[in-house]
Structure 1
Amino acid sequence: MDSNNPQNNAPAVAGAITFPSRSQDVHPAPVQPRQPRNLQGLLRFAMEATKAEDAPGDSTLGPMDEERRKFLEEALKSLTVDIAEVLHTSITTLTDAEKMKSIQLGQPLPEDVQSAFNNLLEYIDDIDVANDFYKMGGFAIFPIAYGSENDEIRALASTVLAEVCQNNPCCQARALECGILNVLLNLVQSERGQALTKCLYAISCASREYSPACRELTAQGGCDTLAELVATPEPAARTKVAFLIRYLCHHYREAKEQFIKLNLVKIIAEQIKKGRDATTEHLLSTLLALVDGPDPVVLAQCRDPSVGLRNILEDLLKHPDLIGERFREERDYCQELLKQVFTDCAQVEPMDDVVADR
């Protein structure tokens, strides 16, 4: 019987990893080399870890000579990045006001300026590095960059700001205190192309999950600006707008009330009516955020015959793309809107009466 097998009575070895073989025998796993603590230990670790792959020969390790030590030190230095130095160098380059001002509209960025932005974006997605960026005076790059006539510089600055602020209340607070959010809210009204998309990205990251910034955005007329940008001809920017509006509607009643007063329903309906594209799904989701409640004014806006939202949704459901499973979520949004807004709504209350009652 198995209980009489002497192998089963063998004492266990502490720390050993065992595994069954095809014959059910149990063998200890190979002992791993000790983790290195210095340069010589690193060399020993590497040689012991690969010893089984080496050709037969003497693998005895002796003392490390000075030449080998210097070689390994240089090799390790070449693989080590001084992030603080990278931040300092990049900030110094991007706060050179004279250099930055000299870069004209449409002109390619000088290599050192492009490298400075690239190096920042390589590391600042780490929250600790982002905070160090601020402490080292990094926010000084923004007024200089946003004052540039070169749209690529402004777009890159917005990308940097978005990365340092995303899910980072410390940098969000600094951006608000420094007035950068207000600069963005003014700048977004005139930006176009990639600069517009990145500016909206920065506004979103500087505001979301940070109540003081969301309140400031609402107080400074940001809802009006966002509502106007729903009709922008640039799909990437329209997606960013829809995403931020949806977030505000779900989390900040004051912002949602502003969008209702602006009759955002009509603006979205007109945009969808122009033709289905990659942003339609996000616009439908935004409509659902508006009708969530439900608010009688919003329902009246949706049911307004002059808007024709019901026909727009029904026509969209007939679109060939929505027949398959690929755009199932978009189809579900349409059906949910029809259900929430138009079920049992034979009697349409005049918009003026609803607003007056409110």
Structure 2
Amino acid sequence: MGSNNPENRRPMSGALTYPASSQQSPAQRVAEQPRQPRSLQGLLRFAMEATQAEDAPGNSEVGPLDEERRQFLEDALKSLQVNVAEVLENAIKVLTNSAKMNSIQLGEALPDDVKNAFTVLLDYVEDLDVANDFYKMGGFAVFAICYGSENEEVRSRASSLLGTLCQNNPFCQTRALECGLLNVLLNLVESERGVTLAKCLFAISCAVREFEPSCRELIAQGGCYTLLQLLSVPEPAARTKAAFLVRYFAQHYSEAKEQFVKENIVRTITALIEKGRDESTEHLLSILQVMSDDLDPKVLSQCRDPSLKLETVLKNYLKRPELKDDRYCEEKEYCNELLNRIFNQQQRVDHVEELADR
């Protein structure tokens, strides 16, 4: 068995160590030194303990932090610091290298430096200040190159980056609108598929939500019709994101709602619900709930169209075995609310008219 004497213990591989004062015996050094730090938090704790020992008045047992230890601590802290501006600049250089980016062919795996550039940027630009700095450093130039790539992963990662930059960030939302990126995205969603389509819709959502100028631009550019068409794409993830945006616009912008009514969104949603349930169905039901919330006569008329059989579709949906699970309680609530709002009210009106005719 190994000795319990601290002087005989071997240092842990990878652990931070620091030089001991030459003026103290080994026993004194072991007794007085704080626990050796193994992380940034531990390193900071070590600094606090060392400073506290240095500043403690009347403590004759612990001497001041000598220059040798102080220098070691400063060097250790510097080694853990990251020059964020330099990291951003290097990543931007990689992604704006048009020759390199254009050489990535359709279906080809991304080179490691390109993949790492996207990964590093996504890690840092979640911070709003870093996101704003990214733009000021010319970072938005990456999008013209990346969205022009034939490689779907490049475009997908570009959308993830743009969405992260714009999410809850009016500064970057403004810059994205000024740079014409919203129009680029609205054009791309008409041809993208799969994960790339879902990421594109994510970027649109982050670029417009809670930012009225971009919402108005989307409506003006025919984006409502585009979103309505996307409710019928085969990928549930993309349908879910499209449905989320449709609900948002129907709830907050009357002109968008009018466009949805004009395109008879009720017919589209009824047909989708009748096909079966998936992750997008809850959002489709929520669209009907928002559209009929103010009892708009046009919407109610579409819902009560006998050819749609919406009442039957909703009642059959409530019979689905998976809806017995409490996880789907919102879907059940939407169905029951719609049945009561649209059809029970109609039955009451019909009953009153019947009595009046007698």
* TM-score past 0.5 threshold: yes
TM-score by length of 1: 0.80
Letter in 2 for 1:46: E
What is the distance in 2 between the residues matched to 1:275 and 1:305?
A: 20
What's the offset of the Cα at 1:72? Answer: 2.5
- Cα shift readout 1:209-229 (whole Å, capped 9, x = no counterpart): 111111110111111110011
What's the offset of the Cα at 1:256? Answer: 0.9
Cα contact 1:146–1:157 (8 A) shared by 2: yes
Could you tell me which residue of structure 1 aligns to residue 330 of structure 2?
329
Alignment of 1:87 with 2:105, yes or no, is no
- Cα shift readout 1:187-231 (whole Å, capped 9, x = no counterpart): 000001111000000001101111111111011111111001101
Could you tell me which residue of structure 1 aligns to residue 98 of structure 2?
97
Letter in 2 for 1:169: P
What's the offset of the Cα at 1:315? Answer: 0.2
Alignment of 1:284 with 2:274, yes or no, is no
- Cα shift readout 1:84-137 (whole Å, capped 9, x = no counterpart): 111111111111111100011111111111111111110111111111111111
Could you tell me which residue of structure 1 aligns to residue 117 of structure 2?
116
What's the offset of the Cα at 1:42? Answer: 7.2
What is the distance in 1 between the residues matched to 2:216 and 2:210?
A: 11
Could you tell me which residue of structure 1 aligns to residue 176 of structure 2?
175
Could you tell me which residue of structure 2 aligns to residue 150 of structure 1?
151
What's the offset of the Cα at 1:325? Answer: 1.9
Cα contact 2:50–2:65 (8 A) shared by 1: no
What is the distance in 1 between the residues matched to 2:109 and 2:63?
A: 55
What is the distance in 2 between the residues matched to 1:44 and 1:140?
A: 42
Cα contact 1:260–1:298 (8 A) shared by 2: yes
- Cα shift readout 1:309-348 (whole Å, capped 9, x = no counterpart): 1111000011111123221111000001111111232599
TM-score by length of 2: 0.80
What's the offset of the Cα at 1:275? Answer: 0.6
Identity %: 58
What is the distance in 2 between the residues matched to 1:59 and 1:138?
A: 55
Alignment of 1:261 with 2:262, yes or no, is yes
SS at match of 2:259: helix
Count of aligned residue pairs for this structure pair: 302
SS at match of 2:346: coil
Could you tell me which residue of structure 1 aligns to residue 14 of structure 2?
none
- Poorly superposed stretches of 4+, deviation over 3 Å: 40-44, 46-50, 68-71, 346-349
Could you tell me which residue of structure 2 aligns to residue 211 of structure 1?
212
Could you tell me which residue of structure 2 aligns to residue 45 of structure 1?
48
Could you tell me which residue of structure 1 aligns to residue 24 of structure 2?
none
What is the distance in 1 between the residues matched to 2:117 and 2:44?
A: 36
SS at match of 1:197: helix
Cα contact 1:269–1:309 (8 A) shared by 2: yes
5+ long unaligned stretches in structure 1: 1-39, 51-57, 350-358
5+ long unaligned stretches in structure 2: 1-42, 54-59, 351-358
What is the distance in 1 between the residues matched to 2:163 and 2:307?
A: 39
What's the offset of the Cα at 1:48? Answer: 7.8
What is the distance in 2 between the residues matched to 1:344 and 1:44?
A: 71
Letter in 1 for 2:49: A
Letter in 2 for 1:122: D
What's the offset of the Cα at 1:295? Answer: 1.2
Letter in 2 for 1:327: Y
Could you tell me which residue of structure 2 aligns to residue 239 of structure 1?
240
What is the distance in 2 between the residues matched to 1:318 and 1:59?
A: 78
